[in-house]
Amino acid sequence: MPPKARSCIVIGAGLAGLSAAHRLKQRGWDVTLIEAQQRVGGRVFSYRFNEARHLVCELGGEWIGKDHAAMRDLCRRFRLKLDRHLYSFSFWNGRKRSRIYLPGKMKFSPKAQRQFDSYGKYFAKLDSAQQRFLDQFDWWSVLGSLGFTPDDLVKRDLMDSTDFGESIRLTSAYTAAAEYFESNPTDEMDFKIRGGNDRLAYSLVSTLDPNRLYLQTKVRSIQQTSSGVKVFVEKWKGFAAQKNWAIPQARNEWVLIVDSDERVPASLAREIQYILEKPQFDGYWIRRRNFFMGREIRHGTWGTDKVLRLFRRDKARYQQKHVHAEIELDGNAGSCREKLDHYSYRTLDDFMRKAGRYSAWGAMNARDQGKQASGWRIFGHGTGHFLKSYVAKQGFRDGTPGLIIAFMEGFHAFLKYSKLWEAQRAPVTARPKESSVKRFES
């Protein structure tokens, strides 16, 4: 008799959750991964500059230490190159810069450093009861009792708060001591992943079943019974529904919608402030300045891109569409002179990850509108979008990036109508009544 299939639900797609899901999948488990955010990686967030593609800014973690054997093994298996990450740094007090400290070197007064090293030896000998007692105190107070001067405490707060996400006045002394006394002199920040630390997160995701990965899915409750575990999650209502819920929550009369891949330049902010002193319309169109591959795209369909994002709170709502919903304004609209900066795709890999989801939602929009797909329509829409962007809208004037964008738009249209055609061929079944709560069992 074949062994019973084992299943598991992993909550959270940070590195810990992704690594657990990857390991379980390797051992033959059926894994479902649930993440409340719209991205994987947790606190690992690598930002690429469109103006300088070779630069990567790590806005979170996760650094790799010499002692992180499991992390280094994962990098080897996924063929991710490691670069040395050790760096010197200094402190700034608002008036002048401190001396520069080399990696792993003393940053505090000699007395504080001696007391700190001595306390580390004491901490290593604590039993469980003493550890629980230490957990009642904050790290700031314990360091102060060791002889740290106010200047030493401020330095320690600046350094340690980046690890805990809050001041050490609010951090458990036991948690902090375990973090630093069980680490190496460089706090296990010896290496970084070449090209961005988030490459490890995406490598782990690539080994999982994409149909069992649920992003933007918040866990509502967990029930454990003798037969297994049930996880209840809040169903994602869609972009339009979520925004339509958020708009009435605004306290002020006017609302400005800004997506996570958009930035408001100072010039646009000043213009909006000027408009709101004496508004003449109920809403305003804002043109977008689109960036791709380190340069502004001035032609193609991206060159004439505009969105209605500034409006009176009680005069606008989004269309009920699965994706690319536009604002429906109850009133007249004007236009802003200044532009909104838009960084839609950081890399081609970023486009490919989004293309699957957005083309599926686009196919659902087309289905709801009663559209039909055929071989010729798939070919026509794919080719037509390419020609419109590259030839009719003169995307060729943007050089190679313009050519790539035209192919991307044609490919997206090809996927959208291919998925519509696929949906038309699927057998029709009665659709159950939808609920805002979905249940996963393991």
Task: Parse the chain into domains and list their residue ranges.
Answer: 7-85+191-216, 110-181, 239-342, 348-425
172 neighbors 123 (Cβ within 8 angstroms): no
Q: How far apart are CA 399 and CA 128, in angstroms?
A: 65
CATH of 7-85+191-216, picked from 3.50.50.60, 3.40.50.1000, 1.20.1250.20, 3.40.50.1860, is 3.50.50.60
What is the three-class DSSP state of 150?
A: helix
Q: How far apart are CA 289 and CA 340, in angstroms?
A: 6
Burial 277-293 (b: 16+ CB within 10 A, else e): eeeebbbbbbbbbbbbb
Q: Mind listing the pLDDT tens digit of every residue in the chain (442 residues)?
A: 556 678 899 999 999 999 999 999 999 999 999 998 888 988 888 888 777 777 888 877 667 888 888 889 999 999 999 988 877 778 887 888 888 888 767 677 888 888 888 998 999 999 999 999 999 999 999 999 988 888 888 888 887 776 666 788 888 999 888 877 876 666 667 888 998 899 999 999 989 988 888 888 888 888 887 778 888 886 667 778 878 888 888 889 999 999 878 899 999 999 999 999 999 999 999 999 999 887 899 999 999 899 999 999 999 999 887 777 889 999 999 999 999 999 888 778 778 878 888 888 888 888 888 889 899 999 999 999 999 999 999 999 999 999 999 999 999 999 999 999 988 886 544 443 444 445 555 5
> Nearest Cα to 196, choosing from 340, 356, 75?
75
pLDDT tens for 101-137 read: 887 676 778 888 888 889 989 999 999 999 999 999 9
pLDDT for res 3? 62
The model carries a pTM of 0.54
